[in-house]
């Protein structure tokens, strides 16, 4: 039995790297600093260690050859999931380039809300250490932050010390839209967050009014979607009075059509505040199951985020048309590769197409894929790199145990070689 | 395997060879002397009449790190203009303003470049920079780690810690980020922006720390010198792009008191306030100061007309410049109590007075600085123009009639405000070789690179001389990287992976005590998880680390 400290997690997106993990053979137990997201992800048992072809156990070489054979004469294979570490994404993109595939990260439809806003008008953002040391006002838009990242408040808002605030418990937290599911946002001195609730699909209207108020535009309505205009005016005043306000949202939580316009309104509002003699920054949440990693590596390899196709011999980005589900529904795809090294519950969409799964050991299927190759989890079974939600920090993932499972990169590189 | 390059006309300033006919022998990746005993040449290239130089080195090019990837993500419409197909030996990608990593490597190599140095490695983002650079084929690479707006340094300074404490911290940071030099960007200004300061002059105090840019330059330039790093402190000064910043630059040169200092993209820091538009060229006065102060080196950061994107650590100035964004979208970030960045797309127009004069100011600087060993050819890729415009820039420097032809097409008021038409100087091939090879290797402190004498790595570029220097430099006949033929007739014919150049200055290990405490209290990761280990660069079997000697 050994104990490993300062273990970084690729699962929660906020870059916790203070976990203590006890290891007994290949079974892991999080004994310190676990949370509802990280603990089960680290403690997931290894089940399969051998690949399967048509449901029968085979050697890795045979499985790789079978996968290559399935991909050999395809016209438009889709590589979905894209949930792995940096080296896994490198292998995935090399394979996609070779076989003219579509690369589509499974969280892209949510992340698209951010990408479309970024690519249309840009933004002013910040990162977690700045939040930890400077943020005096946090506005949470449309997101249950503690359900998203259970340790966010403990690590980045209620930290004992900060460089530029005398008392971190005096920070103010405001929820707009969704109410928090627990008490994590209550300060250590008992001060509760201000919550202005509205339906998620009403956020475009509420946030548009908030931006107008920030800009000093007159608003005649007394209330907006159930929120008093006076309350919104008060929030606008607090944002402008704060020294370092931070506005956060999870793009995936804005689950209504054209939510990119909400992200854009928030981002433009932040710019407006910065033009009124104070500072304010955005903090988009994400970073789960390799989504930032997929977009970063795809970004430097192709120029585009991870919804990009190689079918014409060069990368083409389309945030709508390259959607896995659309390509399957429309009958455009002719094979499916699912890459998911983090989450055993995240299985490929059911399809009649030839399907190859490169998935974390422990995955179970309603419909057995043609080829299943179990792989290790980055940060547990092999070393690697993963991006945190704020996109700047790539954390160095450790190898904790010797499971004998191959990495995503090893498997995808082998398939590419076999082609 | 012994390769012989026969009868080329060699320009090798590192050995003082200026256009002499010489044979070159290559064995095991390095240049060797002609074997003494009977020998067999395995492969011979007849280079009679060809121009031979070592592989070019770009000493300041933004090829790795977060802001570059933000720039890529921001501009899908730019990539769509320049899709790059895969081939049997090369990967697909995109080109133009901020190319994909693979295309960056191919296109540099296809112009005869064999190394590139990322000048803005944020300590907390260095891992990303190295990962991106690991996906740039053929080229050697390296980076200068960015300090000067990080709260740890400013805290040391406010607490009046001695120079040794600062030296230890700087050396530790170089090692943990795997860098080969140190850069400072808008000294203290990125930090001041987080406290809502919107400008910071050389002697203006940071509102929280009370330190000035002058103080920061002084302690960092001293540290770099005292810990023995060859590359002088690499400085992106205060007031980038501000009319009148010529005076700031002159004061910066004076203020450093003779310490070695490299002023980067000096074109953006050479503006006066004369004329109807209150914007004029300060190039003559800046060049005069450079000529006089031998401790100073510069690169130009030439702008060239067309669409590009500016990606800088200078969040303060980039925020101020966002009004010029074209297309109108831009990003700034505050980063991890460490640094910041700003990404603003730009379209430089020859019919725009300011842009036209910026173009002329860059060229005046090139032509008025006497010593080619102290000036380097850059566009600050992609900020002044994409690196693919270097052959055009070389023609502007080597061909006065071409230069004047272009000059006659720019904004007429800008033509009146520049002395360019009267400058007769034309760069020689040897001077180009100094700026882009021998001088760059010397400035960065690269051992066994940038020269063609025996012992050097065989990074070699072969051109066919052409009076149209743009045509000559955009399509080398051959490029060898570590002795491997990678380019023929301006096209990649094989690929390999270059090394990562670093230095390892010593520090007192007790420096980690203060750092660990700081990381635990204020930052978001453990100190042990922050430091980049060698295996992160070498574990995939492609990367390698080369450690260069210190200057003692
Ligand atoms: Zn630069």
- Residue B438's domain is classified under what CATH number? 3.20.20
Say which residues have a Cβ less than 8 Å from residue B492's Cβ, sequence separation at least 6.
Answer: B89, B90, B106, B109, B110, B138, B486
Give the residue from B84, B98, B457 showing the smallest Cα distance to B307: B98
User: What's chain A's average pLDDT?
Assistant: 97
| Ion ligand 1 residue ranges (Cβ < 5 Å) | B 380
So what's the pLDDT on residue B540?
A: 86
Give me A57's structure tokens: 């156990």
Say which residues have a Cβ less than 8 Å from residue A295's Cβ, sequence separation at least 6.
Answer: A105, A111, A115, A305, A306, B73
Q: Tell me what the mean pLDDT of segment A53-57 comes to.
A: 98
Sequence ranges of chain A with CATH classification 3.40.50.740: 45-107+289-418
Task: Specify if B10 maps to a domain.
Answer: no
Task: Specify if B381 maps to a domain.
Answer: yes
Domain count within chain B: 1
Tell me phi and psi for residue B238, to 5 degrees: -75, 160
Q: Is the model's pLDDT at A286 over the cut of 90?
A: no
Task: Specify if B505 maps to a domain.
Answer: no
Q: Is the model's pLDDT at A56 over the cut of 90?
A: yes
Interior angle at CA A359, CA A356 and CA A362, nearest 5:
125
Give the distance from residue A335's alpha carbon to the nearest chain B alpha carbon, in angstroms: 21
Q: Which residues pair with B144 in a beta bridge?
A: B181
Task: Specify if B512 maps to a domain.
Answer: no
Q: Which residues of A touch B337 (CB under 8 A)?
A: 129-130, 133, 163
Share of chain A above pLDDT 70, in %: 100
So what's the pLDDT on residue A287?
A: 79
Q: Which residue of A133, A149, A264, A303 to mutate against B (max B Cβ within 10 Å)?
A: A303
Residue range(s) defining the domain that contains residue B233: 53-492
Q: Helix, strand, coil shares of chain A as percentages rounded to 5?
A: 35, 25, 40
Name residues 291-350 of chain B within 8 A of A (Cβ).
319, 325, 328-338, 343
Ligand 1 centre from B278 Cα, in Å?
26
Give the residue from A299, A316, A300, A411 showing the smallest Cα distance to B137: A300
Q: How far is CA B368 from the centre of its chain?
A: 21
CA separation, residue A400 to residues A4, A46, A377, B89 (Å): 8, 13, 10, 36
Q: Is the model's pLDDT at A288 over the cut of 90?
A: no
pLDDT band at A1 (very low <50, low <70, confident <90, very high): confident
CATH architecture group of domain A45-107+289-418: 3-Layer(aba) Sandwich (3.40)
Task: Specify if B36 maps to a domain.
Answer: no
CA separation, residue A372 to residues A82, A349, A369, B234, B468 (Å): 16, 14, 6, 52, 58
Task: Specify if B516 maps to a domain.
Answer: no
So what's the pLDDT on residue B38?
A: 87
So what's the pLDDT on residue B447?
A: 94
Interface contact B231, partner A, CB < 8 A: no
Where are the extended beta strands (E) located within A288-380?
Answer: 307-309, 316-317, 335-340, 355-360, 371-375
Q: Match domain A111-285 to its CATH number in 3.90.226.10, 3.40.640.10, 3.40.228.10, 1.10.3720.10.
A: 3.40.228.10
Q: How far apart are CA B406 and CA A381, in angstroms?
A: 60
- Ranges in chain B, pLDDT < 70: none
Say which residues have a Cβ less than 8 Å from residue A56's Cβ, sequence separation at least 6.
Answer: none
Cβ atoms of A101 and A283 closer than 8 Å: no
Give the residue from A309, A398, A281 showing the smallest Cα distance to A10: A398
Interface contact B536, partner A, CB < 8 A: yes
Sequence ranges of chain A with CATH classification 3.40.228.10: 111-285
Task: Specify if B442 maps to a domain.
Answer: yes
Q: How far is CA B258 from the centre of its chain?
A: 23
Q: Tell me what the mean pLDDT of segment A136-155 comes to.
A: 95
Contact state of B151 with A133 under an 8 Å Cβ cutoff: yes
Size of interface A-B (CB pairs under 8 A): 186
Interface contact B82, partner A, CB < 8 A: no
Cβ atoms of B179 and B121 closer than 8 Å: yes
Q: Which residues of B touch A124 (CB under 8 A)?
A: 319, 331-333
């Amino acid at each position: 039995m050994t104990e490993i400290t300062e273990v970084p997690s690729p699962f929660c997106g906020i870059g916790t790297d203070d976990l203590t993990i006890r290891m007994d053979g290949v079974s892991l137990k999080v004994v310190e600093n676990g949370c509802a997201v990280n603990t089960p992800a680290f403690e997931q048992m290894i089940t399969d260690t051998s690949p399967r072809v048509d449901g029968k156990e085979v050697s890795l070489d045979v499985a790789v050859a079978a996968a290559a054979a399935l991909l050999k004469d395809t016209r438009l294979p889709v590589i979905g999931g894209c949930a792995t570490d940096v080296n896994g994404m490198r292998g995935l993109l090399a394979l996609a380039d070779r076989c003219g595939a579509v690369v589509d990260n499974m969280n892209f439809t949510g992340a698209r809300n951010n990408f479309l806003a970024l690519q249309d008008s840009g933004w002013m953002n910040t990162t977690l250490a700045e939040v930890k040391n400077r943020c005096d006002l946090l506005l949470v838009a449309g997101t249950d932050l503690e359900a998203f990242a259970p340790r966010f408040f403990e690590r980045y808002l209620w930290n004992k010390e900060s460089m530029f605030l005398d008392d971190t418990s005096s920070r103010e937290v405001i929820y707009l839209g969704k109410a928090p599911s627990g008490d994590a946002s209550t300060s250590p001195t008992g001060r509760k967050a201000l919550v202005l609730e509205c339906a998620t699909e009403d956020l475009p209207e509420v946030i548009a009014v908030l931006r107008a108020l920030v800009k000093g535009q007159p608003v005649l309505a007394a209330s907006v979607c159930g929120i008093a205009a006076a309350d919104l005016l008060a929030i606008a005043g607090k944002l402008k009075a704060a020294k370092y306000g931070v506005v956060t949202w999870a793009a995936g939580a804005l689950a209504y059509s054209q939510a990119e316009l909400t992200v854009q309104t928030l981002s433009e509002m932040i710019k407006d505040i910065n033009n009124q003699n104070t500072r304010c920054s955005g903090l988009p949440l994400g970073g789960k199951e390799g989504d930032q990693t997929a977009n970063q590596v795809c970004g430097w390899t192709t120029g585009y985020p991870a919804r990009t196709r190689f079918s014409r011999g060069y990368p083409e980005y389309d945030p709508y048309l390259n959607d896995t589900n659309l390509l399957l529904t429309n009958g455009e795809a002719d094979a499916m590769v699912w890459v998911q090294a983090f989450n055993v519950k995240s299985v490929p969409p059911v399809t009649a197409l030839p399907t190859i799964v490169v998935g974390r050991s422990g995955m179970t299927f309603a419909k057995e894929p043609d080829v299943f190759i179990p792989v290790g989890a980055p940060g547990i079974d092999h070393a690697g790199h993963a991006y945190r939600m704020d996109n700047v920090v790539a954390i160095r993932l450790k190898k904790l145990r010797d499971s004998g499972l191959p990495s995503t990169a090893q498997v995808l590189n082998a398939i590419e070689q076999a082609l | 395997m012994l390769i012989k390059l026969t009868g080329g006309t060699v320009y090798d300033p590192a050995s003082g060879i200026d256009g002499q006919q010489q044979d070159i022998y290559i064995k095991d990746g390095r240049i060797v002397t002609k074997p003494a005993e009977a020998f067999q040449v395995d492969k011979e290239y007849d280079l009679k009449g060809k121009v031979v130089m070592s592989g070019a080195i770009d000493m300041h090019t933004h090829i790795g790190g977060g802001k570059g990837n933000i720039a890529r993500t921001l501009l899908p419409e730019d990539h769509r203009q320049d899709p790059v197909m895969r081939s049997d030996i090369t990967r697909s990608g995109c080109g133009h303003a901020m190319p994909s990593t693979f295309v960056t490597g191919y296109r540099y190599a296809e112009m005869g470049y064999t190394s590139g140095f990322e000048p803005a490695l944020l300590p907390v983002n260095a891992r990303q920079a190295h990962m991106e650079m690991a996906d740039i084929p053929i080229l050697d690479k390296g980076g200068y780690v960015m300090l000067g707006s990080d709260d740890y340094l400013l805290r040391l300074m406010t607490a009046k810690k001695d120079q040794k404490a600062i030296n230890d911290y700087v050396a530790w940071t170089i090692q943990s980020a795997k860098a080969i030099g140190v850069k400072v960007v808008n000294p203290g200004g990125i930090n001041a922006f987080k406290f809502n300061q919107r400008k910071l002059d050389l002697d203006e105090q940071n509102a929280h720390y009370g330190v000035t840019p002058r103080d920061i330059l002084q302690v960092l330039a001293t540290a770099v010198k005292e810990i023995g790093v060859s590359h002088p402190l690499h400085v992106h000064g205060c007031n980038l792009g501000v009319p009148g910043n010529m005076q700031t630059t002159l004061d910066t040169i004076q203020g450093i008191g003779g310490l070695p200092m490299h002023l980067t993209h000096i074109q953006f820091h050479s503006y006066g306030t004369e004329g109807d538009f209150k914007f004029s060229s300060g190039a003559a006065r800046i060049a005069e100061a450079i000529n006089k102060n031998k401790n100073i080196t510069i690169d130009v950061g030439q702008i060239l007309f067309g669409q590009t994107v500016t990606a800088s650590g200078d969040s303060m100035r980039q925020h101020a410049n966002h009004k010029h964004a074209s297309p109108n979208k831009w990003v700034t970030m505050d980063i991890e109590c460490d640094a910041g960045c700003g990404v603003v797309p730009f379209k430089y127009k020859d019919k725009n007075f300011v842009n036209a004069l910026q173009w002329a100011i860059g060229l005046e600087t090139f032509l008025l600085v006497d010593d080619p060993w102290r000036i380097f050819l850059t566009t600050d890729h992609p900020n002044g123009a994409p690196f693919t415009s270097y052959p055009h820039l070389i023609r502007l420097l080597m061909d006065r009639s071409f230069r004047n032809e272009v000059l006659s097409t720019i904004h007429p008021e800008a033509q009146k405000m520049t002395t360019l038409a009267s400058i007769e100087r034309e760069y020689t091939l040897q001077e180009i070789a100094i700026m882009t090879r021998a001088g760059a290797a010397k400035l960065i402190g690269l051992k066994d690179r940038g020269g063609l004498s025996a012992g050097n790595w065989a990074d070699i570029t072969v051109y066919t001389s052409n009076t149209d220097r743009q045509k000559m430099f955009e399509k080398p006949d051959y490029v060898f990287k570590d002795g491997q033929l990678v380019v023929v007739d301006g096209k990649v014919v094989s690929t390999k992976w270059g090394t990562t150049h670093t230095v390892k200055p010593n520090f007192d290990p007790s420096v980690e005590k203060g750092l660990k405490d700081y990381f635990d209290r204020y930052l978001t990761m453990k100190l042990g998880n922050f430091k980049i280990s060698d295996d992160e660069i070498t574990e995939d079997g492609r990367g390698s680390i080369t450690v260069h000697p210190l200057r003692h």
